[in-house]
Amino acid sequence: MSAPAIEIDHLVKRYGDFTAVEDVSLRVAQGEFFGFLGPNGAGKTTTINAIVGLAQPNSGAIRVFGYDNHVEWREARRLIGLAPQEYNFDRYLSIRDVLIFQAGYFGLRGPKVKERADMLLERFGLASKAKDEYTRLSGGMKRRLTLARALIHEPKLVILDEPTAGVDVELRLELWQLLRDLNGDGLTIFLTTHYLEEAEELCKTIAIIREGRIVTQQSTESLIADGARLQDVFLELTRA
Amino acid sequence: MIQEVPSFNRVALWTLIKREMIRSLKIINQVIWPPVISTLLYVFVFGLALGSRIQTVQGVTYAQFLIPGLIMLQTIDSSYGECSSSVFQGRFMNSIQEMLIAPMSAFEIVFGYVLGSLARAILIAALITVLGAVLVHTWPQNWLLYFGVLCMVSILFSSLGLIFGLMAEKFDHLAVLTTFVITPLTFVGGVFTSAAMLPQVLQRLELVNPIFYTIDAFRRSYTGESFLPPWLSLSVIALLMVVALGIALRMMAIGYKLRT
């Protein structure tokens, strides 16, 4: 049996006296489109940061495709692409170089990387801006560049933190289709979003976190069985 | 494209060095030309105008005496400035996250920044060396000593820059070390004067100024003379470099102000 894309066991993360994540355990199967929902400050970003190595857990274990992200960190990180909510591109590089340099940090270089960068720029509608700096892109283009950068090293898992925050309806639908296509190609997607219709539309499985604890993890289908709306289920589970 | 993950990510190291070099060239009017222009001005005002009243220092004209000191001054300033501002900017803009989520070790990140900074220092030193050769007809007599000291001093101050780039909470904090420590110690550390010109009390005080050792050893590569034996200066510089580099590596390894 293949290892889960993400396997979190009893994760605890504290900041001083504040416990951001309390005994979180999760399994995300390979190839899954997984939604990770919760109100602001519930522990979503802390959990993501712990998966990608930006936060150091107080206790618990995280494995990515079977690799312990603390011990076998190089192997684990190699398999993850992160699209953060905030734009954090290198301002000294052109858009094409943002992708090529990111691949470099992942240990990849050469003509294949350049070809893949050009392919991604084409696929995400950024080819005409390849030589520009990111500051010259529109908000929607920056979102797409965030996603392209997360994919440049061909990860097996992509973590998307609010990928459609602040974009118009048209672009949101376009991004949804892109994400569906990527998932269709076998990519595991771990998505956080405040748009519940987005989670309902895209995710096969949903976990909801409240005050650092997982309150449910089940298939989207069973979560909204009997005609329930995800919004109502979410509010019921996350109200104090 | 998925490949075996090497235990040493040399591609990432080179990528970061290249990134730092691109950054330097993008802000060339801010970081490359100013040290060259200010060196030119120092040579004209202090070396050729005022210096014409001084006969010789360490067996060379005063303008020739100035050149190695000015190279050290700019190497120190450029190395500290490059690493401190690049790391702080990366933290401020959060673009450093691109490296933190990648399979890059603390060693690769620290050496990427430090060697990128060294490349800038070598470029500036080379330009000033050419200026010295053209304007006052002086050039290094001992290239091994020239490069040895240049590299060690650049690595020392790049490491300090990295440490302060990690510690700073705002850009203003980066200037604390330069304004209150580096610049005063550099100016009294022998850029403009030979220790032999100073009264004995001040000569003794120079021995607690780490920058004095860097300038004294570097000047020897030009004049063949130094106030202190070269092994002593080189040992002090090497020791400081290892300590600063060690602290920078440790801070990066624990993710100081980078990983929560």
* pLDDT tens digits, B176-204: 888 998 888 888 888 888 877 777 888 78
Residue in this structure with the two tokens 């050469």, named with its chain if needed:
A110
* Class of domain A6-79+156-238 as given by CATH: alpha beta
Whether the pLDDT of residue A55 is over 70: the answer is yes
| pLDDT higher than 70, residue B5 | no
For residue A191 the two structure tokens come to 């998505």
Run of H or E residues at A205: strand A205-210
- What is the pLDDT, as a whole number, of residue A36? 93
Q: In whole angstroms, what is the distance from residue A112 CA to residue A105 CA? A: 15
Q: What's the number of domains chain B is made of?
A: 1
For chain A, give every domain's residue range: 6-79+156-238, 91-154
| Chain B nearest C-alpha distance from A103 (Å) | 8
Under an 8 A CB cutoff, do B102 and A105 touch? Answer: yes
pLDDT, residue A114, reads 94
**Contacts with B45 (C-beta within 8 Å, 6 or more apart), sequence order:** none
Position B3 scores a pLDDT of 55
- Which one-letter amino acid corresponds to residue A128? S
User: CB-based contact (8 Å) between A157 and chain B?
Assistant: no
Q: Which of A72-86, A154-168, B3-17, B45-59 has the highest mean pLDDT?
A: A72-86
> For B212-229, b where at least 16 C-beta lie within 10 A, e where not — what string?
bbbbbbbbbbbbeebbbe
3-state helix, strand, coil in chain B (%, to 5): 80, 0, 20
* pLDDT reported for residue B128: 95
Q: Which alpha helices (H) appear in A130-219, and where do they start and end?
A: 139-151, 169-184, 196-202
DSSP A14-78: EETTEEEEEEEEEEE-TT-EEEEE--TTSSHHHHHHHHHTSS--SEEEEEETTEETTTSHHHHHH
The token pair that represents A120 in the structure block: 């991604």
Give percent of chain B above pLDDT 90.
64
pLDDT score, position B219: 93
Look over chain A and give the mean of its residue pLDDT values, rounded to a whole number.
90
- pLDDT of A5 over the 90 cut: yes
Largest CA distance in chain B: 68
pLDDT at B107 over 80: yes
Contact assignment for B5 to A55 by CB distance below 8 Å: no
Residue that has been written with the tokens 């990527």 in this structure? A182
Assess whether pLDDT exceeds 80 at residue B10: yes
C-alpha distance from A58 to closest chain B C-alpha (Å): 11
**Is B36 contained in some domain?**
yes
Instruction: Tell me what pLDDT residue A117 has.
Output: 95
**Which candidate, B110, B90, B99, B244, places its Cα nearest to that of B168?**
B90
Tens digits of residue pLDDT in A153-175: 999 999 999 888 878 888 888 88
From A93, A101, A116, residue closest to B1, measured CB to CB: A116
Are A105 and B16 in contact (CB < 8 Å)?
yes
- pLDDT at residue A231, as a whole number: 79
B158 found inside a domain: yes
* Chain B residues near any Cβ of chain A (below 8 Å): 1-3, 5-7, 9, 11-12, 14-16, 18-19, 22-23, 26, 93-95, 97-104, 255, 259-260
> How do residues A159-215 score in pLDDT, each as one tens digit?
999 888 878 888 888 889 889 999 999 999 999 988 888 888 899 999 999 888 988
Would you say residue B145 lies in a domain? yes
Angle at A165 between CA A162 and CA A170, to 5 degrees: 120
Query: Given this model, what pLDDT does residue B194 score?
Result: 80
Encoded amino acid at A169, one letter: V
Q: What's the pLDDT at B54?
A: 73
pLDDT reading at B64 higher than 80? yes
Q: What is the pLDDT of residue A225?
A: 80
Domain assignment present for B259:
no
In chain A, positions 168-197, which contact chain B (CB-CB < 8 Å)? Answer: none
Q: Is residue B34 part of a domain?
A: yes
Q: Is residue B2 predicted with pLDDT exceeding 60?
A: no
Query: Residue B54 has which token pair?
Result: 């001084």
CA distance A158 to A79: 9
Rounded to a whole number of angstroms, the distance from the CA of B101 to the nearest CA of chain A is 6
8 A C-beta contact, residue A102 and residue A153: yes
Of the candidate ranges A173-187, A222-236, B245-259, the one whose mean pLDDT is the lowest: A222-236
Find chain B residues with C-beta within 8 A of A108's C-beta.
1, 3, 11
Per the structure, the complete domain to which residue B41 belongs is given by 10-253
A133: phi then psi, degrees, rounded to nearest 5: -85, 155
Question: What is the distance between the alpha carbons of residues A59 and B28, in angstroms, rounded to a whole number?
Answer: 47
Q: Is the dihedral of CA A46, A49, A50, A54 positive or negative?
A: negative
How does DSSP assign A74-108, residue by residue?
A: HHHHHTEEEE-SS----TTSBHHHHHHHHHHHTT-
- Token readout for A148 is 């392209």
Q: What is the pLDDT of residues A104-119, one digit of tens each?
A: 999 999 999 999 999 9
* Any domain includes B218: yes
Q: Give a yes or no: residue B260 inside a domain.
A: no
In tens, the pLDDT along B114-165 reads 999 999 999 999 999 999 999 889 999 999 999 999 999 999 999 999 999 9
Q: List Cα–Cα distances, B109 to B154, B168, B243, B251, in angstroms.
A: 17, 18, 17, 11
Residue A188's region, left for phi above 0, alpha for psi from -120 to 50, else beta, is beta
For residue B153, give how far its alpha carbon lies from the nearest alpha carbon of chain A (Å).
27
